[in-house]
Amino acid sequence: MRPEEISKKTEQLVTIKTEDLAPLPFPYDTYEETPITPLKEEQKKKWEHSLDGVSALTLPKPETPEEEERLVKAFLSGLEKLMTKENNWTFLQPLMLSLEYCAKCQTCADACPAFEMSGRKDIYRPTFRADVLRKIAKKYLSKGGKIFAGFRGHDIDLNWDTIARLAELAYRCTLCRRCASVCPVGVDNGLITHELRKLFSQEMGIAGPEIHEKGSVKHLKFGSSTGMTTAAVADIIEYLEDDIEEKTGKRIKIPLNKKGAEILLIHNAGEFMAWPENPMAFAILFDAAGIDYTLSTDLVGYDAVNYGLWYDDVQFARVALKHIEIARNLGVKKIVIGECGHAHKALSVIADRLLPGAQMIPRESSYTLLNDIVKSGKIKFDPSKNDFPVTLHDPCNAVRLMGIVKPQREVLNAIFPPGRFREMEPHGVENYCCGGGSGFAIMSSGNFPDWKRLVSGRKKLAQILNAFQGEMDPSIKKMVCAPCSNCKGQIRDMLESYEVYEKTGIWYTGLVELMVNAMVDQKKPYIEWPGEDDDDM
């Protein structure tokens, strides 16, 4: 399918059929997949779905031709702004280079898990959405763009269908940037998706509801994208202290708003709700290692997420500046980011050039600090307590996009008996996204969860299964270590949808939980497998 066909007047451009999907390894090689749930008639009437029958955005259909026209104009005006330094100094240079220079070699296509696992559907090619944007820019915004547009390869119609499909298409890419790492001329199709999302959000107010209204807006309004208020945090922390006492037999005080502490530790607040054992494990380890740290209960300061990273520079900056301000007010020497991949990249890398240097504060990955704790010998670990096969998932944001590859591996090698840790293939900076990147892990509108299950998460599931081939007997318990909240959420959803634990004995957890499980001082097992504690299931 040529990118120009995106403007075609048709009910639905592409249908995802389960028989087209790339196969999964044993024991799912004969598995009967559940297809994508079609939208109900009333949903179809309300929401745009003409790309692939999936609605991730629940984007309302315009009611009048005038409204359509207004939206088309808004899109073009947004595209124009995207190409000005005043409105887009943040990404102008890589965007313009990526728009200008595609050599149309399709090397990126084979690197993209969404394209590959969908059964190579053209609309999910990394170049497809980029090409559509390129062609619109050339035809409608460059001088003489309409002359010989067909011969020059950019004769595309700009109508509401094009825009509605493009909006959905901006949410069929996880921004993993695997495509960018193989492109021979350096084009970054992941970045083009990012910029497209920005255009929709910053100009037209269109974004995934879970990442905007229920995400960054809630974060700035209540203090956390989970909706957890500043008043509730202290209570939650107290519950964690009770749970720690129950699990370890020791009462540990989790420091809050401690002025002058060495470290401000910020977790993805989703951990407090979904995986409290993760922040608890941090508290146990930091206590045992004698780390001088604090958590914050200030608005925004207790949630490391920054959803703006995926769709909106302004929302991004608002949250990042808040994180920095809170750390400065506390007078800490550095911020340490918990197990959240996108928070790592947001605060360490992207926010790095938002303020003059004197106003910044050093940021560090928890993986690095945890490895330092292990190497310091301050905590004694007994690897035999972790005597089960384990593999490691590399969160794209912390690994390919930040270069933190070794510390988490060194930790695993120190807390597992030799031979228990095996890599997925490929891994490290060549890893595949969990399928929940760029906000997908938390996006659950319309029938989008089905798309994630069948398409974006499929490659990671295949990789996980491949890592344990030969040991698929469910009685052999096996673990995926995923040191990132969003990746964990996505992996949990995949394992549950496919009943992977029941069929193969594979479960998931974070890095710190595995560390506490191996602590000599930890009398009871810290890791719980499904069924051992019904609350966790």
Partner 1 sequence: MGFLQILTYLSGLVFVIAFGAKLLKYATMPMHVRWELYPIPHEGKEWGGSFYEEIDHWKKVRHKDHMAQYRFMVPEILFIRALREDNRPLWYWSFPFHMGLYLSIGGLVFLGFGAFVQIFGMVPENSALASLFQSLTTVFAVPGYILGTIGALGLIVKRTTDSNLADVTAGIDFMNLIWLGLLFVTGFIVWLQDPGFNVSRAYFQSLLTYGPMKEPMSAIHVVNLLIFIGFWAYFPFTPMTHMVSKYFMWDKVKWDDDPNRGDAGMDSKIKKYLAYPVTWAAVHIDSQGGKKTWADIATTNPWENKDQK
- Tell me if 309 sits within 8 A of 346, measured CB to CB: yes
Look at residue 363 and give its three-state secondary structure: strand
> From the list partner 1, ligand SF4, none, which binds 444 (C-beta under 5 to 8 Å, kind-based)?
none
Q: Give the residue, chosen from 118, 162, 189, 225, that forms a contact with ligand SF4 under the rule CB under 6 A.
A: 189
b or e along 290-312 (b: 16 or more beta carbons within 10 Å of the residue's beta carbon)? ebebbbbbbbbbbbbbbbbbbbb
Residues of span 403-432 touching partner 1 by CB under 8 A = 403-407, 428-429
Q: Give the residue, chosen from 11, 65, 143, 151, that forms a contact with partner 1 under the rule CB under 8 A.
A: 151
400 is a contact residue toward partner 1 (CB under 8 A): yes
Residue (188 or 313) nearer to ligand SF4, CB: 188
- Stretches 1-9, 44-52, 183-191, 374-382: which one binds ligand SF4 (CB under 6 A)? 183-191
Q: Give the residue, chosen from 54, 79, 170, 175, that forms a contact with ligand SF4 under the rule CB under 6 A.
A: 175
Residues of span 111-170 touching ligand SF4 by CB under 6 A = 111-112, 114, 126-127
- Stretches 99-107, 468-476, 484-492, 505-513: which one binds ligand SF4 (CB under 6 A)? 99-107
Measured from the CB of residue 109, what is the shortest distance to ligand SF4 in angstroms?
7
Sheet with 506-509, strands from edge to edge, namely 421-422, 390-392, 478-481, 506-509
* Separate counts of helices (H) and strands (E) for the chain: 24, 8
- Tell me if 10 sits within 8 A of 108, measured CB to CB: no
> From the list partner 1, ligand SF4, none, which binds 404 (C-beta under 5 to 8 Å, kind-based)?
partner 1
> From the list partner 1, ligand SF4, none, which binds 474 (C-beta under 5 to 8 Å, kind-based)?
none
Measured from the CB of residue 95, what is the shortest distance to partner 1 in angstroms?
9
Measured between alpha carbons, how far is 348 from 403 in angstroms, rounded to an integer?
Answer: 12
Amino acid 87 reads N
- Tell me if 252 sits within 8 A of 280, measured CB to CB: no
The DSSP secondary structure of 107-133, one letter per residue, reads HHHHH-HHHHHTTS-GGGSHHHHHHHH
Residues of span 67-106 touching partner 1 by CB under 8 A = 74, 77-78, 81, 85-87, 89-94, 96-98, 100-106
Residues of span 334-373 touching partner 1 by CB under 8 A = 334, 348-358, 360, 362, 364-365, 368-369, 372
> From the list partner 1, ligand SF4, none, which binds 176 (C-beta under 5 to 8 Å, kind-based)?
ligand SF4
Measured from the CB of residue 491, what is the shortest distance to partner 1 in angstroms?
22
- Tell me if 366 sits within 8 A of 263, measured CB to CB: no
395 is a contact residue toward partner 1 (CB under 8 A): no
**Which residue is associated with the tokens 């009910």?**
11
Measured from the CB of residue 146, what is the shortest distance to partner 1 in angstroms?
15
Measured from the CB of residue 128, what is the shortest distance to ligand SF4 in angstroms?
9
Measured from the CB of residue 468, what is the shortest distance to partner 1 in angstroms?
23
Instruction: Determine how β-strand 390-392 pairs with β-strand 421-422.
Output: parallel
470 is a contact residue toward partner 1 (CB under 8 A): no
401 is a contact residue toward ligand SF4 (CB under 6 A): no
Residues of span 262-301 touching partner 1 by CB under 8 A = 299
Dihedral in degrees, nearest 10, Cα atoms 234, 240, 241, 243: 150
426 is a contact residue toward ligand SF4 (CB under 6 A): no
Residues of span 175-234 touching partner 1 by CB under 8 A = 177, 180-188, 191, 201-205, 212, 217, 220-222, 229-231
Q: In the numeric block, which tokens belong to residue 453?
A: 């299950």
> From the list ligand SF4, partner 1, none, which binds 353 (C-beta under 5 to 8 Å, kind-based)?
partner 1
> From the list partner 1, ligand SF4, none, which binds 489 (C-beta under 5 to 8 Å, kind-based)?
none
Within its chain, how far is the Cα of 270 from the centroid? Answer: 13
Measured from the CB of residue 498, what is the shortest distance to ligand SF4 in angstroms?
21
Look at residue 183 and give its three-state secondary structure: coil
Measured between alpha carbons, how far is 209 from 111 in angstroms, rounded to an integer?
Answer: 29
Measured from the CB of residue 68, what is the shortest distance to ligand SF4 in angstroms?
28
Q: Which of 478, 503, 502, 480 is nearest to 491 (CA)?
A: 480
58 is a contact residue toward partner 1 (CB under 8 A): no
Tell me the angle at which helices 65-82 and 126-136 cross, rounded to the nearest 10 degrees: 100
141 is a contact residue toward partner 1 (CB under 8 A): no
Measured between alpha carbons, how far is 323 from 336 in angstroms, rounded to an integer?
Answer: 11
Beta-bridge mates of residue 295: 256
102 is a contact residue toward ligand SF4 (CB under 6 A): yes
Q: Give the residue, chosen from 13, 59, 108, 465, that forms a contact with ligand SF4 under the rule CB under 6 A.
A: 108
> From the list partner 1, ligand SF4, none, which binds 114 (C-beta under 5 to 8 Å, kind-based)?
ligand SF4
The DSSP secondary structure of 428-465, one letter per residue, reads GGGPPP-S-GGGGGG--STTHHHHIIIIITHHHHHHHH
Q: Which of 503, 429, 520 is nearest to 468 (CA)?
A: 503
Measured between alpha carbons, how far is 279 from 339 in angstroms, rounded to an integer?
Answer: 9
φ, ψ at 263 (rounded to 5°):
-130, 135
- Stretches 31-39, 56-64, 185-193, 385-393: which one binds ligand SF4 (CB under 6 A)? 185-193
Measured between alpha carbons, how far is 111 from 264 in angstroms, rounded to an integer?
Answer: 37
**Which spans of this chain sit near ligand SF4 (rule: CB under 6 A)?**
102-108, 111-112, 114, 126-127, 173-179, 183, 185, 187, 189-190, 193
